[in-house]
Amino acid sequence: MPNLPLGIPSDLDKYFFNRKKELIKLNTFISGFKQNVANQILITGRRGVGKSFLLMKFRMELPENVLSAYVDLSKIHGMQKGRITEEKVMHGLFEEMLGSLENKDPLRKIYKLKDSLLKKLSAKNYDFKAAGNLLGIPIPQVDDDYEKLSSLVMEFPQKVVDDNRENIDGFVIILDEFQLIGEFENPEAFFWLIRSYTQHQDNVTYIFTGSTSATSEIVEKINGAQGAFGGRMIQFPVEPFNEKDTYDYLKEMISEIKFTPEGLKRFYKCTNGYPSYINSFCNTMSEGRTYDSEMVIETFYGKLDQIAVMWVFIWATLSDYEKEIIEILTETEALSWNDLLSKVNYSNKTLLKYTNRLKNKGILSHTNKKYAIEDIMLRSWLKYRKENDGYYPP
């Protein structure tokens, strides 16, 4: 049986496939650092399409003179037992920014301050006068702790570049699972804060990415016409592998598994080219037999819990409201707002709250004024469980 990774493997190069065009694009977007031109980037795409893996690879291949920090907001979310705050995100950013200096020789002196600076942060002692002097960042005399913290963190990357022009051209900061910012009390304020700093920073690129559809509320808030960046961010969606890529990937990664041409086509239809599903499906297949279309279907339904494993985990994290909305839409395809509202027992306001959450999580789509479940694997899995168990997973 193949053993393809279900998460991001530590040996990136062993498993990373193609995405050449996306990598060229990303590199073009940061190619202006030397001329003091920085872009801000928003990368959307459904769950399991390969956003994080792509960005890991991009990060690994960054030129020597570009620093980078990677923050996964779902980790901060997890550690906070479901509560994510601006302050925690700032801590996470600062920690990763400092961490990125470890192997850059002249910057190591700042890296060495990491532990003592972070200790100050965790003690909520935001008196950065001394730290500000050490880092050379003028810390404004403000009363509000969060303001002090955020100005330290937000000024930091540009300052590092400015002080090290001979070695460093730019700083890339990746915020993964950024849709969780939607859980802040005031997501707009956070986006505006970042925008207000990036406006004057010519060598810092933020890349926001997460599982959310290009039309979600959170995307509107950050880059919509009324959003903080007002359309100035470069936005691009990561697409699943196309049919040919999928076949090439299978040939390269699991040459021991044989398919008939119809079997291959069926495999592509079942996975839609999503690398996460391709991998989890492959891991259920055996050598020594040739998969035709029927065998692919049989395996698909026989091992659906394993193939849709990603959703088994996500399902467990959803609230009862969210589950109910998904169940309704699993049974009825697309629904207008009023039709959806008529099927639930709670208020307009509550429904709005949870549909927005589901949109931010990239689970619900809202196109042509109709709500629908974006992911067919999620639908297949739920339908299958309902048929087999008589009820939806609890």
Residue 182 in the binding site for ligand ATP (CB under 6 A): no
CA angle 256, 259, 262 (to 5 degrees): 165
78 binds, among Mg ion, ligand ATP, none (CB under 5 to 8 A by kind): none
The number of residues that bind ligand ATP (CB under 6 A) is 22
Residue 8 in the binding site for ligand ATP (CB under 6 A): yes
Tokens encoding 253: 């990664």
Which residue's structure tokens are 């690398």?
A: 275
Contact between residue 118 and residue 95 where contact means Cβ atoms under 8 Å apart: yes
Binding mask 37-76 for ligand ATP (x = CB under 6 A): --------x-xxxxxxx-----------------------
Closest CA to 312 of 211, 264, 380, 227: 380
Query: How far apart are alpha carbons 20 and 342 in whole angstroms?
Result: 47
The nearer residue to Mg ion, 51 or 159, going by C-beta atoms, is 51
Residue 271 in the binding site for ligand ATP (CB under 6 A): no
Smallest gap, in angstroms, from Cβ of residue 362 to ligand ATP?
Answer: 7
Query: How far apart are alpha carbons 341 and 301 in whole angstroms?
Result: 32
Residue 379 in the binding site for ligand ATP (CB under 6 A): no
Question: Which residues of the shown chain bind Mg ion in the complex (CB under 5 A)?
Answer: 52
Smallest gap, in angstroms, from Cβ of residue 234 to Mg ion?
Answer: 19
Residue 279 in the binding site for ligand ATP (CB under 6 A): yes
Residue 234 sits at φ, ψ, to 5 deg, of -80, 125
The nearer residue to ligand ATP, 47 or 195, going by C-beta atoms, is 47
Which residue's structure tokens are 């795409």?
A: 45
The nearer residue to Mg ion, 178 or 267, going by C-beta atoms, is 178
The nearer residue to Mg ion, 69 or 168, going by C-beta atoms, is 69
Question: Which ranges of 199-347 does DSSP label H, i.e. alpha helix?
Answer: 217-223, 243-253, 261-271, 275-282, 293-302, 304-307, 309-317, 320-332, 337-342
Query: How far apart are alpha carbons 165 and 101 in whole angstroms?
Result: 14
The nearer residue to Mg ion, 101 or 173, going by C-beta atoms, is 173
The nearer residue to ligand ATP, 249 or 291, going by C-beta atoms, is 249
Give the interface with ligand ATP as residue ranges (CB under 6 A). 5-9, 15-19, 45, 47-53, 211, 275-276, 279
